[in-house]
Amino acid sequence: MLNNIIRRCWCYCPQGCWSKTRMILTILAFMSAIIAIIMYSIDLYKHGRKKHLIGWTSSAGFVILTFPISLKLIFDHFTHWNQPKIQKYVVRIIWMVPLYSIESWMALRFKAWALHFETIRECYEAYVIFSFLYYLIALLGDEAQLISILKEKPEDLGHHKFPVNLCMSPWIMGHELLHKCKVGVLQYVVIKNLLAIAIFMLVSFNVYDEGSFRLDRGYLYVCVITNISQLWALYSLILFYIVTKDELTPWRPLGKFLCVKGVVFFTFFQSILINVAASLTRNLREIQGGEDTKDSWTESEIAKGLQDYLICIEMFIFAIAFNFAFTHKDYLSNKFREIHEKEEERKSPFIFSAFLQSSVPDEMFSDIRRVAKGQELATASGTPLQNMRFKSKDSMEDDIETTHGETSPFINNNSNSNSNNNNNNRLENNSDDTFVSTSPMKNEL
């Protein structure tokens, strides 16, 4: 009888009602888990447990909450792999949250290896900055179409503001600006990995001394180089966003930008502030003639532990924000978005293939090799720019279903063959062997 009642309620209740109910139950479950973590930590403290044990336990609770949120979002993209050349960058960015979370907890739990975990985490930061810029480029179509868009922009957008204009000449809108922005993020990837190797070498010679800003220690110089490289990458990213924000508006780029900037740059400067505070505390005690703590945790270790603990909590918040900023629904066509609202959309069977596409950064290695050889990055897959013709706004409506020649698995074979025949007919009618760009831009662009 109970089964019949549930079945009838399911049949007569609108799908939107069940969706809202599921969301409310999920929110209540996570809120209950957070309250349980706080209450359990208070109980451990009252029973005289050591503070670092309480920190391990409570931070582990937030890591456990973060993982299912992020993994579900990644799985949603894998099972709705409609725009692979765009979504592969999205998945790489989303992975940042669970990786940050688990690496921070590992650094907190195994403090002897904390520097190694933190260095790996910071290398992934650079990779995320690279992925985000290339994600924005992919949203605007291929590079030839993007260069055409940039050339139509006012030249003053390529002029640098003070104090950047003191050391950089204006960037010409088009090919040069795209090339300089790419170099700006790629240098951060290279420098960050080289600094990771340098840090391990400095630690082996016992001259790194993390958290110490002494001139005879390596930490100060690593921070200076990292800040300069990071600010250059951030400047390149912001400049590209400002120039293309009108074209990116339908994709809601501001929320995505704030999420990435919040994780990467907020956590970095947060660590700097914590280390400065720890250094001032240590110097103040030395001036007052106090003795070092006999506890197993030094000031430097406490500073690193506090940073890792805060990241575990912050990643839970960012995991929720990422679900709204990087939803897979952005990459559904109008047709499939209507089906999705009815929760009847087919799932893609190529999850392993999607995982491989999002895991191998072949374009990053290719561009690094091109920079090392002195080649330009802003090219259009070897096709001369002057021979390219771009699609009109009216012809972009169907492009959401194909990405650079790759057909969505949801489209049947008949529609694919008709679309290909139409494209071939359009190409045959061109007298100058022009190139038709298949951009995944939305119709609003």
Identify the CATH number of the domain in which residue 300 sits: 1.20.1070
Q: How far apart are CA 118 and CA 109, in angstroms?
A: 12
* Percent of the chain topping pLDDT 70: 69
Is 378 a domain residue? no
The SS3 assignment for 211 reads: coil
More confident residue, 32 or 202: 202
Q: How many domains does the chain have?
A: 1
Confidence check: pLDDT of 439 > 50: no
How many angstroms separate the CA atoms of 317 and 321, rounded? 6
Which three-class secondary structure state does DSSP give residue 212? Answer: coil
Q: Is 392 part of any domain? A: no
Q: Which long-range contacts (CB under 8 A, 24 or more apart) does 270-273 make?
A: 270/307, 270/310, 271/307, 272/223
Mean pLDDT confidence for 246-261: 87
**Residue appearing with tokens 């049949």:** 11
Q: Do β-strands 406-407 and 435-436 pair in parallel, antiparallel, or remain unpaired?
A: unpaired
Query: Rounded CA gap, 184 and 304, in Å?
Result: 29
Residues 105-163: pLDDT tens digits? Answer: 998 888 888 888 888 888 888 889 889 989 988 888 878 888 888 898 888 888 888 88
Tell me: pLDDT of 306 over 60. Answer: yes
* Residue 372 forms part of a structural domain: no
Determine the pLDDT at residue 352. 78
pLDDT in tens, 346-401: 445 467 788 888 888 888 888 888 777 776 666 543 333 333 333 333 443 444 44
Give me the domain span that covers residue 34.
28-359
Residue 419 lies in a domain: no
